[in-house]
Amino acid sequence: MKNILTVNQLTKKFGYLTAVDNLSFSIEKGNVYGILGPNGSGKSTTLGIVLNVVNSTSGSFSWFDGNTSTHNALKKVGAIIERPNFYPYMTALENLRLVCKIKEVPFSRINDKLELVGLLDRKDSKFKTYSLGMKQRLAIASALLNDPEILILDEPTNGLDPQGIHQIREIIKKIASEGTTILLASHLLDEVEKVCSHVVILRKGKKLYSGRVDGMLATYGFFELKCANEKALLEFLKSHSGFGTIKSDNGLITVFLEEEMNSEELNAQLFKKNIVLSHLVKRRESLEEKFLTLTENQSN
């Protein structure tokens, strides 16, 4: 498969602080990637480096298998970093014309993209009169002007109201469904879980995980159980080979599975042993729980 971006042992130091620490990953065409990490984990710095606005301390990166210079590669990339930056005194249309000139694409696409983000009727308003949500949408339109091979979004819903967040998500989903490769940096896990197929998880500039989202969540799930006869239940669970970690918290027993087992089966087995459950739920871990265990393990 074609590599769009390859990052190789990238390191960035700001004085004593190491913002990005020996980071390597690669991005293949057609997937939707998420870069996850708490605030200050080096997401934006990493994106800044590959987008030619931050100088790396060491390491390298290459766009499109290294066949073009970075600035020419960026003409095939659409990117939004943190806040939408446009000329406040120019209208949306004028701003987009400028971007067209920089990216060397014809003006003819401007209207389509403005329509896509729902700003066509405000195209002649000055950028400074826009609300934050509109600014963010204009930034997306601008990033799409060159029909990019990859769209890079850094915290695209940051600071937006629920409606704005919803609009941006819808736009992202629409773009992803058209087969555009997307790289989404965020600390909002449900956002990443909803749209991404692959994740790179960072913490303090180090890579904790990189690979498929479902690979990361590939567990057999866990049961939440409640029972009057807690002691008997715990004994049964410990003796059974299919169960791993058991946690008991305020009468709620959480037990992680090590092999496939459905809830009817468990219920039937327990009933045979005269253990009657008052609560039985089978769940799978969410990305959030997985992420928190991953980052916690590393901090200890």
Partner 1 sequence: MKRLLQIEYIKLWNNRASRVLIIAYFVLLTSIALIAAIKFDIGPVKFHLAEQGIFNFPYIWHFNTFITAFFKLFLAIVIVSMMANEYSNKTIKQNLIDGLSKKEFILSKFLTVIAFAVVSTIFVFVVSMVLGLIYSDYNELSIIFSDLEFLLAFFIKLVGFFSFCLFLGIFVKRSAFALGFLILWQVFEGFARGMLRWQFFDKDTTEIIMGFFPLNSMWNLIKEPFSRLSAVQSVANQIGEEIAVNYHVHWYEVLIVVAWTGIFIYLSYALLKKRDL
Which residues contact partner 1 (rule: CB under 8 A)? 48, 51-55, 69-72, 74-75, 77, 79, 81, 83, 85-90, 94, 97-99, 101-104, 142
Strands 206-212 and 32-36: unpaired
Q: Which is nearer to partner 1, 85 or 293 (CB)?
A: 85
Q: How far is residue 192's CA from residue 36's CA, in Å, rounded to a whole number?
A: 8
Q: Which is nearer to partner 1, 88 or 159 (CB)?
A: 88
Q: What is the DSSP letter of 274?
A: T
Q: Please report which residue ranges of 3-107 form alpha helices under DSSP H.
A: 43-50, 70-74, 92-103
Q: Which is nearer to partner 1, 105 or 246 (CB)?
A: 105
Rounded to a whole number of angstroms, the minimum distance from the CB of residue 87 to partner 1 is 6
**In a 3-state reduction of DSSP, which class is residue 142?**
helix
CB 275 within 8 A of CB 227: yes
Rounded to a whole number of angstroms, the minimum distance from the CB of residue 38 to partner 1 is 21
Q: Which is nearer to partner 1, 42 or 270 (CB)?
A: 42
Rounded to a whole number of angstroms, the minimum distance from the CB of residue 182 to partner 1 is 16
Rounded to a whole number of angstroms, the minimum distance from the CB of residue 94 to partner 1 is 5
Rounded to a whole number of angstroms, the minimum distance from the CB of residue 54 to partner 1 is 5
What residues are paired with 276 via a beta bridge? none
Write the CB contacts of 288 (distance below 8 Å, at least 6 apart in sequence).
Answer: 189, 190, 193
Rounded to a whole number of angstroms, the minimum distance from the CB of residue 12 to partner 1 is 9
Q: How far is residue 66's CA from residue 184's CA, in Å, rounded to a whole number?
A: 22
Q: Which is nearer to partner 1, 92 or 199 (CB)?
A: 92
Q: Which is nearer to partner 1, 141 or 257 (CB)?
A: 141
In this structure, what token pair is assigned to residue 61?
């990166």
Q: How far is residue 282's CA from residue 27's CA, in Å, rounded to a whole number?
A: 34
CB 157 within 8 A of CB 172: no
Q: How far is residue 26's CA from residue 150's CA, in Å, rounded to a whole number?
A: 13
Rounded to a whole number of angstroms, the minimum distance from the CB of residue 174 to partner 1 is 22
CB 61 within 8 A of CB 8: yes
Q: Which is nearer to partner 1, 79 or 266 (CB)?
A: 79
Closest CA to 217 of 146, 265, 286: 286
